Structure 1
Amino acid sequence: MSDNTKKMVRLAMAFICFGSSVLAEEIGSVNTAFVLLGANHKIVIEAFDDPKIPGVSCHLSRAKTGGIKGSFGIAEDTADASIACRQTGVIALSAEIQSKKSDGERVFKESTSLLFKHVQVVRFYDAKRNTLIYLTYSDKLIDGSPKNAISTVQITNSIFEK
């Protein structure tokens, strides 16, 4: 199966499973371990724009398991992920986002195993500091707390919508 075919299958499965979830654009990857049969283990870098806040883009790096299972999309990836988000244009904050309380809002979700494990990104708004906070984590708990990372976007020029 070619890399393009694998990507198309992954995108189709993500669309079927998650409907309106944001799909990331793969920017690149590096191999981290050679695997004799199937794809190598690697770290993938993906980009996505916040679907409700134009002017914010995020880059996510995460581990991708190779081997035969990884080649067919049935391997379970590790919970390792990192995120960096930046202001890339004028930010328009709606009243809905400004009023969102401590539970945040999911802006990205992608499967990292066949059934139950996903990497997610949740957005929070810190009104006191005029800052957006993006948290990435794995939603399957294994031996305690999930691994996580945050990135903040200090809003420097914005439009507050009613």
Structure 2
Amino acid sequence: MRLILAAFGVLVGASCVPALAQTKIGSVDTTFRLLGANDHIVIDRYDDPDVPNVSCYVSRAETGGVSGSLGLAQDPSRFSIACRATGPVTFPANVPQKQRIFTTSLSVFFKSLEIFRLLDTDKKVILYVVISTRIKEGSPYNSITAVPTTGN
């Protein structure tokens, strides 16, 4: 019985910790909070696992205060994405037309950030869109960016 309770505690504890981005670049405080952490904007980098030399930078808001410090605050579903070529980028030949490439948990209440890759075969451009799985007013907040490729 103790083993079952210990395993359940580990699972619940792990689900309360949001998944980390591939690389956290930093953060900027936006609102001072007397108790708990300040509200801030977090900037994370995600490198495309299938397209070499493409890095996506996502900025997102994190709520501070006591509830934010405990991981219980509901962060706003607003973010921005900018993907850049960090070297020569060739148009990927063997990747799907549309593919989810990253998912990161943003709260304990079933909210996550997802990044999708889409291919514009006519223009040889790779598109990236970031969305929140928590729907607001009928459609999720989103942001899009494009990375041109070199030939192929």
TM-score normalized with structure 2 length: 0.81
Structure 1 residue runs without a partner (length 5+):
1-8, 16-22
Tell me how large the CA RMSD over aligned residues is.
2.1
- Partner amino acid for 1:110? T
d(CA) in 2 for partners of 1:39 and 1:77?
Answer: 13
d(CA) in 2 for partners of 1:94 and 1:46?
Answer: 24
Name the structure 2 match of 1:106.
Answer: 100
d(CA) in 2 for partners of 1:73 and 1:24?
Answer: 20
- Partner amino acid for 1:14? A
**Superposed displacement of residue 47, structure 1:** 0.9
Deviation sequence 1:108-154 (CA, Å, 0-9, x none): 21111113101111000111000000001111112221111100000
2:87 to 83, 86, 89: 89
**Superposed displacement of residue 88, structure 1:** 1.0
- Residues 32 and 41 of structure 1 are in contact (CA less than 8 Å); yes or no, is this contact kept in structure 2? yes
The structure having more radius of gyration, on CA atoms, is 2
1:80 aligns with 2:78: yes
TM-score normalized with structure 1 length: 0.77
1:143 aligns with 2:137: yes
Identity %: 42
d(CA) in 2 for partners of 1:112 and 1:75?
Answer: 10
SS at match of 1:78: coil
**Superposed displacement of residue 78, structure 1:** 0.7
1:125 to 105, 119, 127: 119
Q: CA 1:13–1:63 in structure 2 vs 1: closer, same or farther (change >3 Å)?
A: closer
Q: Structure 1 residue runs of 4+, over 6 Å off?
A: none
d(CA) in 2 for partners of 1:59 and 1:93?
Answer: 20
Name the structure 2 match of 1:14.
Answer: 19
**Superposed displacement of residue 13, structure 1:** 5.3
Q: State the aligned residue count.
A: 138
d(CA) in 2 for partners of 1:94 and 1:30?
Answer: 35
SS at match of 1:70: helix
d(CA) in 2 for partners of 1:57 and 1:112?
Answer: 21
Deviation sequence 1:22-41 (CA, Å, 0-9, x none): x3311111111111111011
